[in-house]
Structure 1
Amino acid sequence: MIEGLIAGKLYGTAQTRTGPSGRVFTTAKVRAAASDGDTLFVNVITFSDSTAAALLALEDGDAVTLAGTLTPKVWTDKHGEARPALDMNAHAMLTTYHVRRKRRAAQGETTTPATPAGEYDDDL
């Protein structure tokens, strides 16, 4: 088991589904930059209600940072080349709201009421 943190851009939109057992989960795909300048796709699944709500509030192309368990994978592109990918079972997500709130707390400012999902300040 590999615990990891990924950052990238949401590719498409997150989707909520229900498994055969009735368990609800959310899936998403994140496009992350690899060290060689290539793109790495991360297939994300989460069973956490708070992480799912935060993912569902985002749109295609929005920045996202997720923490969770990673599983390396390989897929074959349309040219027959093997490409790396990651599967992630996400248990936490960092949003711009969290960054702003932590920055204010570190500066000694009092916290403001919670911002509803999807409403973020642009003062980062």
Structure 2
Amino acid sequence: MIDGLITGKIFGQPRQGQGKNGSYVTAKVRATTEQDTIFVNIICFNQQACTQLLALQDGDSVSVAGSLTPRVWDSQDGPRPVLDMVAHAVLSVYHIKKKRDEVQGIRNQARQEDFNDDFDNE
């Protein structure tokens, strides 16, 4: 098993499915190398990561961390590399902005509390 971090763009629309052990989400990520494009087949069982994947649309930039399995796909143009990933974490620009907003809100709240403490002490 290989743990990896893939960065690329969502290809198509992520889809939710239902299995015997609960729900899951599948997606494809198009990752570009210097010479080629590699498609990564993503499956996700973690509820938070599934929700984050479902929020994305075709063409959105994303980074996905998880367990990788390399494969070869026999296309009409010859063999091509493909990766399968069981995703554990998903990060996109939307999630970064949300985290920044949360941190900024915490900082602003702490500053306000410090200001109130200083004001109360006078």
Q: Which TM-score band applies after superposition, normalised by the shorter structure?
A: 0.7 to 0.9
Which residue of structure 2 aligns with residue 86 of structure 1? 83
- 1:66-107: per-residue Cα shift (whole Å, max 9, x none)? 00000001001123x0000100000001122443435985xx
Alignment RMSD (CA, Å):
2.0
Return the match for 2:48 from 47, 50, 55: 50
Q: Distance in 2 between matches of 1:96 and 1:104?
A: 14
Uncovered stretches (5+) of structure 1, i.e. residues with no partner: 113-124
* Candidates 93, 106, 109, aligned match of 1:96: 93
The within-5 A match list for 1:23-62 is 23-36=22-35, 38-62=36-60
Aligned residues, how many?
A: 106
Choose between structure 1 and 2: higher strand proportion. Answer: 2
Structure with greater helix percent: 2
Q: Secondary structure at the match of 1:55?
A: helix
Separation in 2, partners of 1:12, 1:26: 13
Q: 1:73 to 1:54 in 2, by over 3 A?
A: same
| TM-score normalized by the length of structure 1 | 0.77
Q: TM-score, normalised by structure 2?
A: 0.78
Shift of 1:22: 4.4
- 2:52 & 2:68 partners in 1: Cα distance? 19
- Residue aligning to 2:74: 76
Residue type at the aligned position of 1:16:
Q
Instruction: Give % identity.
Output: 45
- Report SS of the residue matched to 2:13: coil
Change (3 A) 1:103 1:22: closer
Deviation at 1:25, TM superposition (A): 0.7
